[in-house]
A and B are shown apart, each in its own frame.
Chain A
Amino acid sequence: MVKIVTDSVSDLPPQLAKELGIAVVPLYLHFGTESYRDNVDLTTEEFYDKLAKSRIFPATSAAGPGIWVEVFTRLATETSEILVVTAGSRLSASYESALQAKTMVKTDCRIEVVDSTSGIGGEMLLVLLASKLARKGANLEEVSNSVKKAAPGVHVLVSFDTLEYLRRGGRIGRAQALLGSLLRVNPLIGLKNGEVYPYGRARNRAQAMDFLVNFVKGFPRIDSIAVEDATTPDEREVLAQKLKQIVPEERIYQTKVSPAVGAHVGPHALGVSVLEAIE
């Protein structure tokens, strides 16, 4: 069976990863000289707790090729085909790392690395798609082609309380148009084709949630949805309830942003990701 590997930007819940046998390569999170493996040495709750107390702004870095080599080498003893789905290559060095590691592993195991061109829930939905196909017995080419074909149909929208973290982390891109409002607003930012873009402004969190719901309603054919929060699980639950009117519950996945993602979205972020159905 094709073994599926991803990075921790995918926000795949550890429990679900374990159940499905998906390997997750953690990013690194740095508070000054202290380094943590994303979701391994630090949970999301612990991270936000630390963030509230820390004076240092956290930074993140992708795992180097060496880490990927280790993972590939270990997995090669149990499988002959590995499919890697990474965070979008314009946002993270994960893709390049995995690609380089692929050339360095001395094994007969075949490895394919796919750029999700997305991140967080969007990347997660692609990983889950890959996992589903692999469990159905598809081979490496089939899984890889399906994921590549599905990637343009992944859409992410996140509502923010503040864009300060995204700006500091250098990943605000075109969405910097939303910076600097004198009125209190909740900016909404999308992620599409590997790029962050400004979506709009809501006046408060309730309105922001309406934006998220209407965003989902805009897609005629939906395969699956991921809903995630940073520090507000109750709000995520409310959002998920609303989305049940649009998509059957079993195709809605709920999760939390990983600490490394949290370092870029800050507290109170709430996001929804859509994977469009193909055909």
Chain B
Amino acid sequence: MKQLAVATGQDLREMFSAGAAWLEKGAPDIDAINVFPVPDGDTGTNMVLTMRSTMEEAFRAPDRSASAVIKAMAYGALMGARGNSGVILSQILRGLAKGLEGKESFTANDLAQALTVASQTAYAGLSRPVEGTILTVIRDVAKAAEAAAKENPEDLAAVVEALVNAAKESVAETPLLLPVLREAGVVDAGGQGLYNLLEGVSRYLKGETDATPFRKPQIIASTVPLIPKVISLTAEVEEPYGYCTEFLIEGQRLNPDRIRKRLEVKGQSLIVVGDESNVRVHIHTFDPGVVLRYATSLGVLHQVKVQNMDDQHREYLEMQKERLPTIDIAVVAVALGEGMKEVFRSLGVAAVVSGGQTMNPSVRELLQAVESVPSNKVILLPNNKNIILTASQVGPLTSKQVTVVPTKTMPQGIAALLSFGYEKALEENAQTMSEATAAIKTVEVTRAVRTTQIRGLSIKKGQFIAVVDDEDLVAAGDDMAAVIFQALDKVGMETIEVMTLYYGAGTKPEDAEAIAQEIGNKYPGKQMELISGGQPHYDFIISLE
């Protein structure tokens, strides 16, 4: 390929046609990385549409002078500009047109100067120029072009290649300048689009366009280590871990198998490896003393390491917390049953602590959960009468501001959560949430654990019973549906608009469906939802709003 020193308007058309085609090939990939300023996934498409309009006009230019062609292109870009990146692209082309005004043809030097004008025009056009975007890329491109043109004034292809390389570096560094890119783990989409366009031009000048028809532009890898955003909070309180204990026993006639067998009952994650004279042990145990005493009886211990894993876990959570976006007010809820926990999480609870009837969490567990959430203001939902007191102990133990909304049942907790106002202050929210629990009735259906007489109801062991708001036993009998209907009658359904039925771990989905259907038939016109709560003990927990 002969070296091109001077380009005409016709060359411009062909260069940019190749550039636009190359851009179009990579457009879906660019759409996929679009996060700034609005993550609407259309940067690639918008730039392609802008370039199409640009190229249509390029071929309508009144003559073949470089000046006329680029002016027509700028007009086309202007008319067809789509989206933010399209608008900036149109400014770049407008600047190029200004820079090449009056020129029949242009040299590498002319191009470099025009790119500088283009960069200035793009910056000037925006009310708030943001670095780490297509703007930064065009500025770096212009700078590289000026330098390359001084070195190779007679070789357009070499100059364009140099500026494409500069564009690549510039795009790779965009996450360094724009935090939102770094968080999303992508380079700037608009910058990438400009790079693809210029690379297409370069490929044309180097004669590569037809040689590799199946290639497509590649998304540039960031030079900055990407920090992927932690989307969900893993703050659920875990079982305690104990101590991670490690050491090396040096002795004679050691028997690794026997040691393993002996330690198996002392803890978890046991690893015992070695031979007659050296055995390495790793175990998670609640009592490292016992393990070490046994080991000492076998030989000399080396490299003894005992670490409190709860500390480690806390540190881990601490570290996670720093990465998380902070939220103003976090809600911590106590819940039982996978489905119930999921409902709480889906409504924005930052941490769920396992617990409920017959399984009350400790103050320490609640405190851990409160400490783990990424906020200094915490609302606690105990969701059980017997946990309210425990929850109230947490406040004095932490530097965080903790408010307990005294919910007695999980439906009350859910109602409280639904009324959470994202823009409200802690106290105001606690107030609203407490009020919301008053507007709701909870019916819990379970089996009697013993035969008894309560309020004139004689109950046999194993019969179904229904309790309202965790206090009043209102119905008993052998038929679950009948018991539920009696309970609903007692509550009074006239003012109820929404019924939510959470069926328990012991209830088959088809049985739950059948009962829901019956209830739905009896109370038509009420909004009803059936959800797998997965709670133990209670066949049904029914929320009436």
> Are A and B genuine complex partners?
yes
Convert A175-211 into 0s and 1s, putting 1 for each residue whose CB lies closer than 8 angstroms to a CB of B: 0011011111100001000000111110110110000
Pick from A93, A178, A199, A206: contact of B423, CB below 8 A: A199
The 7 closest A-B pairs by CB, nearest first: A64-B81, A170-B40, A66-B79, A66-B78, A170-B39, A198-B422, A182-B346
Q: How large is the interface on B (under 10, 10 to 19, 20 to 34, 35 or more residues)?
A: 35 or more
10 CB contacts below 8 A, A to B, read A64-B80, A96-B127, A182-B347, A182-B531, A183-B347, A184-B527, A197-B423, A203-B418, A204-B497, A207-B497
Pick from B41, B79, B81, B343: contact of A170, CB below 8 A: B41
A61 is an interface residue with CB less than 8 A from chain B = yes
Pick from A64, A103, A169, A174: contact of B86, CB below 8 A: A64
A36 is an interface residue with CB less than 8 A from chain B = no
Closest to A181 in B: B346
Given A64-B87, A69-B78, A170-B40: A203 and B343 interface contact (C-beta under 8 Å): no
Closest to A59 in B: B42
Given A170-B38, A182-B343: A65 and B81 interface contact (C-beta under 8 Å): yes
Given A59-B45, A61-B83, A170-B40: A183 and B531 interface contact (C-beta under 8 Å): yes
A72 is an interface residue with CB less than 8 A from chain B = no
Q: Does the CB pair B497–A201 fall under 8 Å?
A: no
B46 is an interface residue with CB less than 8 A from chain A = yes
- A45 to B: closest C-beta gap in Å: 25
| A-side contacts of B500, CB under 8 Å | 183
Q: Does the CB pair A181–B497 fall under 8 Å?
A: no
B74-104 interface with A by 8 A CB criterion: 75, 78-84, 86-87, 90-91, 94
Convert B513-545 into 0s and 1s, putting 1 for each residue whose CB lies closer than 8 angstroms to a CB of A: 000000000000001010100000000000001
Q: Does the CB pair B420–A91 fall under 8 Å?
A: no
With most chain B CB atoms within 10 A of its CB, the pick from A59, A171, A185 is A59
A213 is an interface residue with CB less than 8 A from chain B = no
Convert B338-366 into 0s and 1s, putting 1 for each residue whose CB lies closer than 8 angstroms to a CB of A: 00001100111000000000000000000
Q: Does the CB pair A200–B87 fall under 8 Å?
A: no
B interface list, Cβ under 8 A from A: 34, 37-42, 45-46, 50, 75, 78-84, 86-87, 90-91, 94, 124-127, 327, 342-343, 346-348, 414, 418-423, 497-498, 500, 527, 529, 531, 545
Convert A85-99 into 0s and 1s, putting 1 for each residue whose CB lies closer than 8 angstroms to a CB of B: 000011101011101
| A-side contacts of B421, CB under 8 Å | 199-200
A67 is an interface residue with CB less than 8 A from chain B = yes
Docked CA distance A178–B34 (Å): 23
Docked CA distance A199–B420 (Å): 9
Docked CA distance A89–B127 (Å): 10
- A62 to B: closest C-beta gap in Å: 7
A100 is an interface residue with CB less than 8 A from chain B = yes
| B-side contacts of A207, CB under 8 Å | 497
| B-side contacts of A61, CB under 8 Å | 42, 46, 82-83, 86
| A-side contacts of B125, CB under 8 Å | 96, 99-100, 103
Q: Does the CB pair B91–A100 fall under 8 Å?
A: yes
| A-side contacts of B91, CB under 8 Å | 100
Pick from B87, B327, B343: contact of A65, CB below 8 A: B87
With most chain A CB atoms within 10 A of its CB, the pick from B347, B420, B500, B531 is B347
Closest to A35 in B: B49
Docked CA distance A91–B80 (Å): 20
| B-side contacts of A99, CB under 8 Å | 125, 127
A253 is an interface residue with CB less than 8 A from chain B = no
- B189 to A: closest C-beta gap in Å: 12
A160 is an interface residue with CB less than 8 A from chain B = no
| B-side contacts of A201, CB under 8 Å | 347, 418, 420
With most chain B CB atoms within 10 A of its CB, the pick from A59, A100, A104, A200 is A100
Q: Does the CB pair B527–A204 fall under 8 Å?
A: yes
Q: Does the CB pair A206–B497 fall under 8 Å?
A: yes
| B-side contacts of A69, CB under 8 Å | 78
Q: Does the CB pair A66–B497 fall under 8 Å?
A: no
Docked CA distance A44–B90 (Å): 31
| B-side contacts of A47, CB under 8 Å | none
Q: Does the CB pair A97–B81 fall under 8 Å?
A: yes
Q: Does the CB pair B529–A184 fall under 8 Å?
A: yes
- A30 to B: closest C-beta gap in Å: 8
| B-side contacts of A93, CB under 8 Å | 83-84, 87
Q: Does the CB pair B84–A96 fall under 8 Å?
A: yes
Pick from B80, B126, B498: contact of A66, CB below 8 A: B80
Q: Does the CB pair A66–B81 fall under 8 Å?
A: yes
Given A61-B42, A96-B87, A183-B531: A200 and B82 interface contact (C-beta under 8 Å): no
Docked CA distance A174–B423 (Å): 11
| B-side contacts of A65, CB under 8 Å | 78, 81, 87, 90
Docked CA distance A93–B422 (Å): 28
A49-88 interface with B by 8 A CB criterion: 59, 61-62, 64-67, 69
Docked CA distance A93–B42 (Å): 13
Q: Does the CB pair A183–B343 fall under 8 Å?
A: yes
Pick from B40, B124, B342: contact of A182, CB below 8 A: B342
With most chain B CB atoms within 10 A of its CB, the pick from A61, A171, A198 is A61
Closest to B343 in A: A182
Q: Does the CB pair A96–B126 fall under 8 Å?
A: yes
- A184 to B: closest C-beta gap in Å: 6
Closest to B528 in A: A184
| B-side contacts of A30, CB under 8 Å | 45
| A-side contacts of B124, CB under 8 Å | 103
Docked CA distance A103–B327 (Å): 42
A139-190 interface with B by 8 A CB criterion: 169-171, 174, 177-178, 180-185, 190
Closest to A169 in B: B40
Closest to B348 in A: A177
Closest to B339 in A: A182
Q: Does the CB pair B82–A183 fall under 8 Å?
A: no
- B405 to A: closest C-beta gap in Å: 16
Pick from A59, A66, A103: contact of B90, CB below 8 A: A66
| B-side contacts of A185, CB under 8 Å | 418
Sample of 7 further A-B pairs with CB below 8 A, known A90-B37, A170-B38, A183-B531: A69-B78, A93-B83, A96-B84, A100-B126, A183-B347, A200-B420, A203-B497
Q: Does the CB pair A203–B545 fall under 8 Å?
A: yes
A248-268 interface with B by 8 A CB criterion: none
| B-side contacts of A90, CB under 8 Å | 37-38
Q: Does the CB pair B82–A28 fall under 8 Å?
A: yes
